[in-house]
Amino acid sequence: MAKHIMSLTVNGDKSEFAVDDTDTLLDVIRNQLSLTGTKRGCTTGSCGVCTVNNDRGEAMLSCLTLAREWDGESVTTIEGLEADGQLDAIQAAFVEFGAVQCGFCTPGVIMSAKALLNRYPQPTEEQINEGMAGVLCRCTGHIKVKDAIRNDFRLRHDLANQSKNKSDNDAQEFKPEPGFSYTGKK
Amino acid sequence: MKGEVTLDMVGQRRPRIDGPEKVSGRAVFTDDVRLPGMLHGRILRSRHQHAKILKLDTSKAEALPGVHAVVVAEDAKGIYATPNEPTICGDVTRYIGEELAGVAAIDERTAAEALELIEVEYEVLPSVSTIRQALKDDAPQVDEGFPGNIVSTDFDDWGTTEQSFDEADLIFEDKFVSRPTHNLFAEYHVVVADFSRPEKLDIWTPTQTAYLFQHSFAAAFKLSINQVRIVHLHTGGAFSGRGSVRPHHYIAALLSRKARRPVKIFSSGDEEFLICRTLGDNQYKLRTAVNRDGLVKAIDIEAVLDGGGQGHALGYFGWMVGKCMSWIMDLEGLRFARKVVLTNQRPNFLGHGGMMIGTNAGLMQQLQRIAKTLEIDPIDMLLKNAIEKGHIGMSGETFASCGLKECLEKVRDASGWKDKYGKLPKYHGIGVGMGSMAAGARGAFRHDTSAAMVKVGEDGLVTVFTGIPDMGQGTHTTMAMIAAEVLGITDSEISVVAGDTDITPVDVGAFAQRGTIMTGNAVKNAAEDARAQLAKNAAEWLEVDEAELVFHEGKIFVESDPEKNAPFAKVAHSTLHSKEGRYVMGRGFYTTPVDYGTAAWSFGAQVVEVKVDPDTGLVNVLKVWVAHDCGKAINPLAVEGQIDGQIYSAMSQVLYEECETDEGQYLNPSRLEYKMPRTYEMPDVEYIIVETNDPYGPFGAKEVGEGPIVVGGGAIAAAVADAVGSFLPEIPMTPFKVWREIRKNEYREQRKSA
Amino acid sequence: MLLPEYNFHKPKTLDECLQVLSKIGDQGQLIAGGTDVVFNMRLRLFQPEHLVSIRSLEELQTIEELPDGALRIGAGCRLEDLSHHQVIQQKYPALKESIDAVASTHIRNLGTLGGNICLQTRCWFTNNSEEWRKGREGCFKTDCEHCHVIQTAHRCHAINNSDTPVALIALDATLTLAKAGETREVPIADFYRCDGEDFCILEPDEMVTAITLPAIQKSSVFLKFTPRRGMDFSLGAIAASANFFNGKVENVRLVLGSISSAPIDLVGPAKILEAEGLDDQAIEKILPLIRGEMGELTNLYGRAGYKKQIARSLVERAIIKLRELQNG
């Protein structure tokens, strides 16, 4: 197969590389760029573990997208969520609320959650269900995943307050959704 | 040391210690492993249910540029995945998907091309696809060694079954079926093998048991146990599906040995469904003898288990399926007869929840039916029969803790059962389930030992070494919390090293719900050993007797005089820098004190409310109330997480998951067509954790790894039966089957009124 | 599952695209979002020599309101964008509902309306991998004169499992089909053939470029039955539409999807509803007729008897929903 040179911006870094016509974004991200956080699963769009976000912050399946179709475009992978060495609020929420178990689907689930929250910062239950229906997670049964998403907004607000050096009282105002408890920062 | 102070760490809701690694994409799974010179392997699989291999010519494949090794049956001689299951089949293939050859090449595409170049000639033989076909008099033989297609017939009879049936007021009988499933963990079957040096075999693979893998590989390749190194990194879910070495593991090693380069095999799409070893098409007949007052006297189960093409291990593990019924009810008699039958299907074993989701779905439906017939409230009937602490089981098991009745009462009250049972509108049902699960299973494996090491660094940071894999259940966090509790520090000061048999001490593995109790006790013992070593030094420093010391909040206190204390890290430092140069390394191990089985059982009860759409048969689970006696919740957040996953899986297996088959071929081998619930389907779950502080468990903990799934299976089935108004004879209760049952009931009613 | 090899084309304009198509003829395959095409290529159901991407064709990605009030949607518009489009939400609710019913957000972020209209028909035999299929005799789609779904059949009985066409037919939409130097407008109801193998009238070098919804606004509903709400192909889908005028019901359209190789336009029952209104007696009258309209039923993803029931139940519910709209 003849190789073609293409470029792709992943997590803000632009790179050029040679691909086959048949390479998918998943192949490129994992094999060419060694960003193995994006997982290889069913490769037919049903399990969602390969989810990355496009430049509009929407969830897409890297297993179903041909690399050459995305020549010159940009995507965000799980490795691109952290900023300044800090986990993104949704990542922190996943840890805090027990939304991670075996962790294999987690990158895809978080990228899906991130996309959902990009569109709806405070999603309704229906929006959460719809936004997360494309991923499968047997370990958590999606229950604590939903907890983490429900609490992302509050956590984000909380973190923003902390960074503004507000008093600890603000942090205590955090009220978790019924049924869950928030243990606060370690 | 003086008695335990209040618990600091145990009982806290703690996030996973590997959480940050997993949410940031840094966690390395087997598919992420890339070794220098690594090749990619592929496996040629049988396309026929039953066929003689007349010819298998690999010469063209071997000649393809980029191909480095091809292995066939000859190369795998004497290597068996299960006692009668050759790693590579050479003569007669007994199921679709059986391994015929392996290829390793520079990339996946070349390996796939090479497979297409292998020429196979089959002579197709008559086959059997179902238990019914297999048991016919003139049925084709799946395996010459097992006449009549029967692998094993086992029979257990505890107590006075026959007499109790004779004496009972009423006998109820139901037949039911549970259809084949798949464990369907998130991470596909994958293995990387490096056997380029003859004296050492390195294997990277997700597993529930590095230890048994080590043994199997050593036996297969005639190596000493520690010449095999198993690295299991993170394991992407297991659900009873990663307990044994499968042909693809061996084939990777065979290819690596031949090519003298590391080889990765990643299973693709439908292959995933062929190589799993999980539940087959199992059939049960359940008879229950009761008195009119609701006393359950005896149970008689006959099971015919579909072993598929091999199925040799099934009969052995099957005993537990029956036995667990005697762990919840004080029975006079229990008989469990089981027959394992060979069919030309994928070899079957156990699924998530053992086989007990199916049997409990039958039992709980039947008990609810009995209660209805006797006009007793089902929960009252379960309470009447439920065992209590101190109960002596039918094989002499002693239940040192038991919160079964408390669980039943709590779910009854939380769910508003009394206002709902029998009062809900048509097609709106409520059901109850209860169950028990053994924590540990001595006798089922080589041994039931877990060992651990606790290393205390001179900076006071602690490393726990354990051989138990964490497939998501959170064991490593639990172990860190246990060690932290003993040492009076926090889990953030502890790291856990696991998953490399070259480094970590022996541990049978993460199955039979043994992690918390066996490995937990081993870690506790190791931490106590380390604590004693530290105490020696602290005692010298603080000039008190060791017995006076308490480890608490990062400090070592003199109990009678808390002003006298030393920071944990300082003591660790001074121990190393002491005159003798002592270094603190605690060691511990644990096995259950009983000869067979276990000494600790979890108990649970659940109430489930469902709505059924009579037009479509679609079941909507509204809410699940879960009460679980896990002994002691070391980490309530993780306990809830385990419950969540099991409610999901119980619901999934009772209502959705089914491998549809036609002549040995799986018709829906994909994550799209093999239905599992997604976000919309998940009900609300209310957790009630019941703590009974088991004397054998570390800090009183038992298990929460497989208890709730069995209870949930029963409760969901009972709820659907309540909504529909009759016993549903097959799980999963897919919309079509529920609808069919509703139509049958309508027809019966019409006939009655006519 | 590895993709078969092909030559990749990514034309920049529609004209260029149509030129490429005319050159490669039946050796080509268009790819829009790729969610169906890549899937089917992995299964080796499609092994095109040429793959033509329409991702760069901006002409296909516009939505415009025509002077007469009709809405013209470019075939390359993503489903998710259409779902959030105000005019579609307000004027064509059945389309919005049918779009939302497609798979998951992940898929809709990639998939296009044109792609959903051209979705390959599905069955349990062809929707498995090539290796899996090799264990059995072939079928109409894989160059053999045989159907696994209905053994005695003389044609391919794969199902048209697509959601949006059901709504589009009910909404009287028209498709614009283009090939080099030629365009034609076809009512979407005439686009499909009841043959799983050759399921639409599209010629090899032709493509769908736009979907036009008429200016006349109708009340419309869409319902779909799946075992799971998110991410599932339906066991049955229905769209119903009508105009209500002075207590009368006009222009009724009832369309069933996912039952056969093409959407089923229930013309007879619709006429009865126009004559008798949407009351219970009318429903009772048409329900027994539905079975007759459904043709030969397959045991594909659900038993035939069950599918009949699903169809019946969907029709009933759709009419009741439509009635609710009528009664405001």
Q: Residue B28 has which token pair? A: 């390395």
pLDDT at residue A164, rounded to an integer: 66
Please report, for residues C120, C227, C314, the alpha-carbon distance to residue C238 in angstroms, rounded to integers and kept in the order given. Answer: 19, 16, 6
Distinct helix (H) and strand (E) counts, chain B: 19, 31
A138/B236 touch (CB, cutoff 8 Å), yes or no: no
Helix (H) or strand (E) segment spanning residue B133: helix B131-134
Contact status of C292 with chain B (Cβ, < 8 Å): no
Model confidence over C188-198: pLDDT tens digits?
999 999 999 99
> Using CA atoms, how far apart are residues B445 and A91, in angstroms rounded to an integer?
39
Residues in chain C within 8 Å Cβ distance of B734: 227
Report the residue from A51, A64, A68 with minimal CB separation from C8.
Answer: A68
Chain B residue nearest residue C302, CA to CA: B736
Residue range C156-168: mean pLDDT, rounded? 96
Q: Residue B159 has which token pair? A: 């107590």
B736/C228 touch (CB, cutoff 8 Å), yes or no: no
Q: Comparing C-alpha atoms, which of B473, B474, B491, B492 is closest to residue B482?
A: B491
pLDDT at residue A177, rounded to an integer: 40
Residues 6+ apart with CB under 8 A from C114: C32, C60, C74, C75, C76, C77, C207, C208, C209, C211
Q: Comparing C-alpha atoms, which of C125, C11, C93 is closest to residue C57?
A: C11
Model confidence over B621-679: pLDDT tens digits?
999 999 999 999 999 999 999 999 999 999 999 999 999 988 888 899 999 999 999 99
Q: Which residues pair with B158 in a beta bridge?
A: B334
pLDDT at residue B321, rounded to an integer: 83
pLDDT at residue C32, rounded to an integer: 95
Residues in chain C within 8 Å Cβ distance of A58: 80, 105, 109
Confidence of residue B563 (pLDDT cuts 50, 70, 90): very high
A46/B236 touch (CB, cutoff 8 Å), yes or no: no
C105/A59 touch (CB, cutoff 8 Å), yes or no: yes
Chain B residue nearest residue A95, CA to CA: B19
pLDDT at residue A165, rounded to an integer: 54
> Using CA atoms, how far apart are residues B361 and B654, in angstroms rounded to an integer?
8
Which residues of A lie closer than 8 Å to C, measured between beta carbons? 1, 4, 21-22, 24, 43-46, 48, 51, 54, 58-61, 63-66, 68-69, 71, 112, 115-116, 129-135
> Using CA atoms, how far apart are residues B649 and B716, in angstroms rounded to an integer?
11
Whether the predicted pLDDT of C170 surpasses 50: yes
Q: What is the pTM of this model?
A: 0.96
Q: Comparing C-alpha atoms, which of C95, C10, C106 is closest to residue C54?
A: C10
Report whether B492 contacts A95 (CB < 8 A).
no
Q: Give me the amino acid identity at B651.
A: M
Q: Is the dihedral of CA B500, B503, B505, B506 positive or negative?
A: positive
Report the residue from A22, A64, A116 with minimal CB separation from C39.
Answer: A64
Q: What is the 3-state secondary structure (H, E, C) of C102-138?
A: CCCHHHHCCCEHHHHHCCCCECCCCCCCHHHHCCCCC
- Which one from B548, B706, B730, B741 is the annotated catalytic residue? B706
Confidence of residue B538 (pLDDT cuts 50, 70, 90): very high
Report the residue from C5, C80, C229 with minimal CB separation from A1.
Answer: C5
Q: Is the dihedral of CA B131, B136, B142, B143 positive or negative?
A: positive
Model confidence over B462-492: pLDDT tens digits?
999 999 999 999 999 999 999 999 999 999 9
Whether the predicted pLDDT of A174 surpasses 70: no
pLDDT at residue B327, rounded to an integer: 95
Report whether B255 contacts B106 (CB < 8 A).
no
> Using CA atoms, how far apart are residues B632 and B639, in angstroms rounded to an integer?
10
- Distance of alpha carbon B283 from its chain centroid, rounded? 21
Chain A residue nearest residue B110, CA to CA: A1
Q: Which residue has the tokens 């394992």?
A: B340
pLDDT at residue B754, rounded to an integer: 80
Helix (H) or strand (E) segment spanning residue C50: strand C50-53
Q: Which residues pair with B561 in a beta bridge?
A: B558
Residues 6+ apart with CB under 8 A from B267: B188, B189, B190, B248, B275
Whether the predicted pLDDT of A184 surpasses 50: no
Helix (H) or strand (E) segment spanning residue B263: strand B263-266
Residue range B354-378: mean pLDDT, rounded? 96
Residue range C68-93: mean pLDDT, rounded? 97
Confidence of residue C135 (pLDDT cuts 50, 70, 90): confident
Contact status of B60 with chain A (Cβ, < 8 Å): no
> Using CA atoms, how far apart are residues B483 and B495, in angstroms rounded to an integer?
10
Q: Comparing C-alpha atoms, which of C321, C320, C260 is closest to residue C290?
A: C260
Q: Which residue has the tokens 């939400």?
A: C89
CA distance B52 to chain C (A): 15
Q: Residue C75 has which token pair? A: 């075939």
Model confidence over B730-740: pLDDT tens digits?
999 999 999 99
Q: Which residues pair with B53 in a beta bridge?
A: B122
CA distance C49 to chain A (A): 12
- Distance of alpha carbon B750 from its chain centroid, rounded? 45
Whether the predicted pLDDT of B269 surpasses 90: no
Residues 6+ apart with CB under 8 A from B241: B182, B183, B185, B276, B277, B278, B351, B352
Q: Any idea what DSSP says for residue B175?
A: E
Distinct helix (H) and strand (E) counts, chain A: 6, 5
C8/A44 touch (CB, cutoff 8 Å), yes or no: no
Chain C residue nearest residue B674, CA to CA: C232
Model confidence over B629-641: pLDDT tens digits?
999 999 999 999 9
> Using CA atoms, how far apart are residues B522 and B486, in angstroms rounded to an integer?
12
Q: What is the 3-state secondary structure (H, E, C) of B275-311?
A: HCCCCCCEEEEEEEEECCCCCEEEEEEEEEEEEECCC
Q: Which of residues 643-682 of B touch A (CB under 8 A)?
A: 644-649, 652, 670-672, 676-680, 682
Contact status of A41 with chain B (Cβ, < 8 Å): yes
Phi and psi torsions of B548, nearest 5°: -80, -10
A103/B645 touch (CB, cutoff 8 Å), yes or no: no
Residues in chain C within 8 Å Cβ distance of B45: 131
Residues 6+ apart with CB under 8 A from A112: A48, A51, A59, A131, A132, A134, A135, C105, C106
Q: Residue B261 has which token pair? A: 């380069």
Q: DSSP characters for B340-368?
A: EEE-SS-----BTTBTHHHHHHHHHHHHH
Q: Comparing C-alpha atoms, which of A32, A33, A60, A58 is closest to residue A45?
A: A60
Model confidence over A53-102: pLDDT tens digits?
999 999 999 999 999 999 999 999 999 999 999 999 999 999 999 999 99
B706 carries an active-site annotation: yes
Q: Any idea what DSSP says for residue B54?
A: E
Residues in chain C within 8 Å Cβ distance of A112: 105-106
Phi and psi torsions of B172, nearest 5°: -110, 140
Model confidence over B174-231: pLDDT tens digits?
999 999 999 999 999 999 999 999 999 999 999 999 999 999 999 999 999 999 999 9
pLDDT at residue B270, rounded to an integer: 85
Report whether B629 contacts B605 (CB < 8 A).
no
Q: Give me the amino acid identity at A125.
A: E
Chain B residue nearest residue C310, CA to CA: B616
Residue range B563-586: mean pLDDT, rounded? 93
pLDDT at residue C267, rounded to an integer: 96
Report whether C158 contacts C141 (CB < 8 A).
yes
Residues 6+ apart with CB under 8 A from B499: B210, B231, B232, B233, B234, B469
How many other C-beta atoms are found inside a 10 Å radius of the C-beta of residue B82?
Answer: 17
Residue range A9-35: mean pLDDT, rounded? 97
- Tell me which of C150 and B453 has the higher pLDDT: B453
SS3 call for B488 = coil
Long-range (24+ apart) CB contacts under 8 A made by B576-583 are B576/B458, B577/B458, B578/B537, B582/B533, B582/B536, B582/B537
Helix (H) or strand (E) segment spanning residue B99: strand B99-105
Neighbours of chain C (3+ CB pairs under 8 A): A, B
A133/C105 touch (CB, cutoff 8 Å), yes or no: yes
Q: DSSP characters for B66-78?
A: TEEEEE-GGGGTT
Phi and psi torsions of B724, nearest 5°: -85, -30
Residues in chain B within 8 Å Cβ distance of A10: none
> Using CA atoms, how far apart are residues C294 and B1, in angstroms rounded to an integer?
80
C109/A54 touch (CB, cutoff 8 Å), yes or no: yes
Q: Which residues pair with B93 in a beta bridge?
A: B51
CA distance B682 to chain A (A): 7
Model confidence over B411-452: pLDDT tens digits?
999 999 999 999 999 999 999 999 999 999 888 888 899 999
pLDDT at residue C251, rounded to an integer: 96
pLDDT at residue C300, rounded to an integer: 67
Confidence of residue A182 (pLDDT cuts 50, 70, 90): very low
A-C contacts at Cβ under 8 angstroms: 95
Rg, Å, chain B Cα set: 27
Confidence of residue B4 (pLDDT cuts 50, 70, 90): very low
Residue range B328-352: mean pLDDT, rounded? 93
Residue range B600-609: mean pLDDT, rounded? 97
Q: Which residue has the tokens 């609808």?
A: B739
The whole-chain average pLDDT of chain B stands at: 95
C309/B45 touch (CB, cutoff 8 Å), yes or no: no
